Structure 1
Amino acid sequence: MVAYASAKRVHWPTVMLVAAFLSADGLRVAGSGQGQGGDHETFPLTAPKRYVSDVAASEDMQSVVQKSLKSTFIAGIRSYDWERTARALSPDFRGRFPRPGDGHAVDDDLLRIRQYEPEALEVVDREGLVDTLRAHVGAWTSIERASLNTFEFLLEPNRDRAFAKVHFELGGPNPGGGRSVVNATIAVGVVRVAGGEWQIRRLDIVEAMRVDNPRPPMFRDITDAAGLHVDRSEADRQSRQEILDNRASLIDAAVSIIDWNHDGFWDILLTEGLNYSVLFLNDGKGGFVRGKLPVEDRRQLPSQFLFVDLDGDGLEELVSNRVSYLGNRAWMGIYTRRDGKWVFLPHALEFENPPGLIRSDAQSMTAGDVNGDGLIDLFVAGYDNNRSGDPARFNLVDGHDGDKNLLFMNHGGLRFTEESVARGITGTHYTYVAQFFDFDGDGDLDIFEGHDYSPNVIWENKGDGTFRALKDHPFARDVKFTMGLTIGDWNNTGKWSVYVSNMYSHAGNRVVRLADSVSEKTRALLKKAAQGNQLFTMKSGVWEDEALAQGVNDAGWAWGSAFVDIDNDGDKEIFVANGNTSHRDPEAPDF
């Protein structure tokens, strides 16, 4: 019997991550503070000295406060209902928030940017804050974004007052077609009032910026007009929604941008395991038409393709990540062209596999010449298998029950042997992304392994195509839940930078502060796990993370990323795909 499988990822709240850290250290998660709060009467606001440190109790109350403020403060802004917004502010409210013209301008050729400092702002009352918010959005044609996300929450012992730090964002279009956004980190003191509502009594900015783009958007959605349609039945949508409602998602689809027919125009290849694979050929006129793929057996439809010339004939092969099994062998196939026709080599990438072990489809595939023989080798990242996730073995922060990674060495003529262990590559982590790159600048290709549930691994090429793990490498020191990787020279210095997509977590940052009994070392690990993406640049021969300094760490629940010059000004921006799926019940708890 031949078996097939797709990967399924279970989503674990960051609170559970922190609990796992604390449990591993033998430290308590819950407790309660006693005593008085901080200074909520003067500016800048300060956090209370004593607070409830029971994680569950604090998080439950934070959810109540957040829901209350979203129903008044945020909902009022979105609907231009300023009386509703004012209802979120106590009668004795005092706060500092910049008006549009406050602060100072930041030089930029394309954007109008104003930076605000709290020290230069006057203290206003409730009506003053509402007027300030109205001044920011008054010229907009609509308010497309208004959000308030808490990353620090300290509930005072009497439980009717709290201190919080939040990320606040407003955004919308103006009549000329341009767009504006206000981003602020603010500290608030909130109080509980009659009826169970919470109000903001004190508010102060920590940092804030307004950006106005006077030009119309550079991009518009032309999906339908360009002919990029993929049919999906209602039954299929409902089936996938049920998976999401159970806090899991299928990792079973990918998109590739390739020049399929070598006509100089980029084409699009979409594939979803066991469901469909669609090739959209660029017609050179701004549209796409469907092309023919060589996959004829629906059971061979993969969740990912790799388009690369493996035999040096100038024509790319199509590598499928679909894994098949029989006895103690498993294999992946390659499609190649011979005499102008596609031929499927089902056992091109064959490897040993213990009987009964069902691997997920390969999660990531990357190609490169690791031993300098001029032949392109393949690294195939394994995520999990049918034995992964056993509660007795699974560890959120040091997971070793994932799947092994595979290194296929090219011997020419599309003949490969799997040699990962023989060449020093070991371990069964949950590898989500992998990339060949010369990280140490010695002229050979090293390997970056990006992991879920454990620190990443850098495999240093020893010069002959064998590897050793650099466990203390800056890329591999912390648990980050890595989802993506991009490499580029973003600032035109002639030096490579590496951007790693991880998961920024507001909840994680909140809980770290509450874990007051942990050691400083553990607290630092927790903080790093929740702080998001990394931007590594080489300084004096050492890779350093500049994401916080450059302001590019917070991209939410981040996935793939890319360096790209979006505005054609000669330097590269960072594009990050982020977000997650939604439960069909909008009142269901967040992932």
Structure 2
Amino acid sequence: MHGPRALEGPVTPVSLRQFFPCAAIGVGLGLFTSSCSDSSESGDTGSNTSTVLSADATFRAMVATEETIAKLVPPLNRLGRAVRDLSLPGHFASSVFAVEAVAIDLGNVGDPKADARLPLQHHEWEVSTFEVRVADLRGGLWKALWEEVDGLEDARFGVLRGRITGNGTFVTELTFSARGWKKKEITAWKGRVDLHWQKNGESWQITRWVTRQMHVTRAAAPLFREVLGSALPNPSEYRRARSSIHERYLREVFFTGSTTFAYPKDYWIYVLSWDSLDQHTSVSVVDIDQDGWDDFYVTARWGRNQLWRNRGDGTFTDIAPRVGLDIDGVCNCALFADFDNDGDQDAFIGRSLERGQYYLNEGGRFIESSSLIDAPLPYWASALAATDFNQDGLLDLYISTYRLPISKPMNILASRFLEPLEREEFKNRRRRDHPVFRLTGPPNVLLVNQGNGRFARVPEAGGTDLWLSTFQSTWSDYDNDGDPDLFVANDYAPDYVFRNDGGTFVDATRELAGEELQGFGMGVSLGDYDNDGRQDPYFTYMYSKAGSRITGMFEGLERRMYEGVAGNKLLRNTPDGFENVSGHGPGKMQVMRTGWSWGGQFSDFDNDGFLDLYVANGLYTPPPGSATEVDL
């Protein structure tokens, strides 16, 4: 999944969805400021009035600042275009600079420092010590950077903060990032720039450019390369692997306003709503035929799932129809494991608008076996996690579920997707939930394996049903007592850690992590990153520049409002609990700011004995020509 790209084009309904998170933060702050006027019970009305006026003034300043930043996004995009053209200001950004604009430019690139563990070189670029007119710079700004590359594939600026000064100048503190190449060498830049803007008519122009820092990382070659074309030599299979029916439907809706669906009407009422975009598909890795080669199972919203068998020569072919796993649509996740202890891989499939399904592998053919479970599998499954939690030699299953679409009437949704008793519990919880910090969702489900492929649903999931919106759950023995514990990452609610005490689950969240797990949970992975013998959790959250700017302007907000936009967290497992070791300052692990992130995972990618992190990020990637210039 890729992040929103800032391309020029007509505004479409996508812009509303992209702006909603920022608007939601603004509404939350509005609720905060209005609550100040409700807290005057002490009788100190003078002090309270001052607080309200101060909060109101801050709110107005925040709105003015964000409105100005929104107007600066198009010229900032032109700066990025100019950098990609290796010319600044150049043709694309000449109008962005005032005639008398001055700048502090890059100086000389520092000596390379080799990475002790990776085939990388790092450079810190010096910054000039004097200021010059931009018009007098032969070759323009950052000319030294252009001499280091043959081309750039990406370059962008992001606004960390903005402030209005007394003389009408608007100052922005920016991040800069770019990727480029020189022959086969790959280069990445990360920098900081301050820009001073003055309004000229209806436009904003740069009057002062201050380069603060620039860090360069070089690699002799990419760590990964795209090989799908050679892995799928059959042209029809390649086209099918690359195609997306969901994308086609969205294109038709956005550009023509209508489409013809191949599914019943009650499907697309839910699937096409904005709420359905919180339902995500997946890729599972499994050696389906036990030939020693990893195969891939790909789920789909629309169309049939695909099982790509590894031929062992670097190529794959789809065998899903042959083995009975070409399930038709609305599939969010899949998990393969030997649930009946007969030596081969069985499958659970998590679905959204249909109930989940359970398949037993009988001689290479998958047989639908959901009847072997004593209760119906849930709708709206978001993730599956298997382990032997009660240590009886049989794999059990925890099913995470994500919220029902909130734009539809609750009584209709509850009757369509929940059992009668669940329906009433859901309605009761919705009446007392919080729309941002504890939003009610369907219950998570724990299935205990009873042998011979049979399962029983554990009442209330042994205390882990939660009734929230869970994106991912992970089993890991964090306390090294021999049984697996449960980590649950929730969106619109705090995350949870359940300690497994002999098959009984105890909520240990506050004991272990205090108030650390307050973000919008998009995933949780565990790994021993420091090789001390303890599993360390990495929670994937959302980092938003806009959200951080807004919350940074207010004092005294609840901690969870700051946490909701601050980014990911790496917690070191210590004998005294989990210590947050992630941050932005010296000595901190720089693993927080990975954008709108999803399901970060530990893996030793370079085989050096230390776990690395891979973090997917982004919200939606719109079709070319329809993206907006909203920068979150």
Q: Same fold (TM over 0.5)?
A: yes
Matched, 1:536 2:571: yes
Deviation for aligned residue 1:341? 4.4
Equivalent position of 2:370 in the other structure: 346
The change in CA–CA distance for 1:475 and 1:383 in structure 2 (over 3 A counts) is farther
Equivalent position of 2:539 in the other structure: 500
Matched, 1:221 2:216: no
Does the aligned pair in 2 maintain the 1:505–1:532 contact within 8 Å? yes
Deviation for aligned residue 1:345? 0.8
| Structure 2: gaps (5+ residues) | 1-16, 37-56, 256-272, 411-429
Bigger drift between 334-343 and 308-317 goes to 334-343
C-alpha separation in 2, matches of 1:410 and 1:121 = 69
Does the aligned pair in 1 maintain the 2:304–2:329 contact within 8 Å? no
- Note the 1:111-510 alignment, pairs <5 A: 111-115=120-124, 121-126=129-134, 127-128=136-137, 131=140, 133-156=142-165, 160-175=168-183, 177-205=184-212, 207-213=213-219, 215-227=220-232, 229=238, 231=240, 236-241=246-251, 247-248=274-275, 249=277, 251-273=279-301, 275-292=303-320, 294-295=323-324, 298=327, 302-322=331-351, 332-338=356-362, 341-351=365-375, 360-385=379-404, 395-421=434-460, 423-468=462-507, 470-471=509-510, 473-474=512-513, 477-510=516-549
Does the aligned pair in 1 maintain the 2:102–2:207 contact within 8 Å? no
Deviation for aligned residue 1:402? 1.0
Equivalent position of 2:597 in the other structure: 558
Deviation for aligned residue 1:340? 5.7
Code of the aligned partner of 1:266: D
**What SS is found at the alignment partner of 2:152?**
coil
Does the aligned pair in 1 maintain the 2:188–2:218 contact within 8 Å? yes
C-alpha separation in 1, matches of 2:299 and 2:244 = 19
Does the aligned pair in 1 maintain the 2:543–2:565 contact within 8 Å? yes
Bigger drift between 576-585 and 288-297 goes to 288-297
Deviation for aligned residue 1:401? 1.8
Deviation for aligned residue 1:387? 6.4
Does the aligned pair in 1 maintain the 2:512–2:576 contact within 8 Å? no
C-alpha separation in 2, matches of 1:529 and 1:97 = 36
C-alpha separation in 1, matches of 2:471 and 2:509 = 19
> Of 72, 76, 100, which aligns to 1:65?
72
Deviation for aligned residue 1:157? 6.3
For normalisation by structure 2, the TM-score amounts to 0.77
Matched, 1:19 2:38: no
Deviation for aligned residue 1:405? 0.6
Deviation for aligned residue 1:495? 3.6
Does the aligned pair in 1 maintain the 2:546–2:631 contact within 8 Å? no
**What SS is found at the alignment partner of 2:22?**
helix
Does the aligned pair in 2 maintain the 1:14–1:507 contact within 8 Å? no
Q: Deviations over 1:19-59 (max 9, x none)?
A: 35435534489xxxxxxxxxxxxxxxxxxxx9884433322
Q: Deviations over 1:158-178 (max 9, x none)?
A: 7x4212221111221002x01
Code of the aligned partner of 1:25: F
Code of the aligned partner of 2:279: I
Bigger drift between 337-346 and 309-318 goes to 337-346
Does the aligned pair in 2 maintain the 1:457–1:476 contact within 8 Å? no
| Structure 1: gaps (5+ residues) | 1-9, 30-49, 326-330, 354-358
Code of the aligned partner of 1:529: G
Deviation for aligned residue 1:190? 2.1
- Note the 1:512-591 alignment, pairs <5 A: 512-515=551-554, 518-519=555-556, 521-522=557-558, 524-548=559-583, 549-584=588-623, 585-587=626-628, 589=630
Does the aligned pair in 2 maintain the 1:452–1:481 contact within 8 Å? yes
Instruction: Using the aligned pairs only, state the percent identity.
Output: 21
Deviation for aligned residue 1:200? 4.4
For normalisation by structure 1, the TM-score amounts to 0.82
Bigger RCO of structures 1 and 2 (CA < 8 A, at least 6 apart): 2
CA RMSD of aligned residues (A): 3.4
**What SS is found at the alignment partner of 1:263?**
coil
Deviation for aligned residue 1:501? 1.5
Does the aligned pair in 2 maintain the 1:281–1:291 contact within 8 Å? yes
Point out the structure with the larger helix share: 2
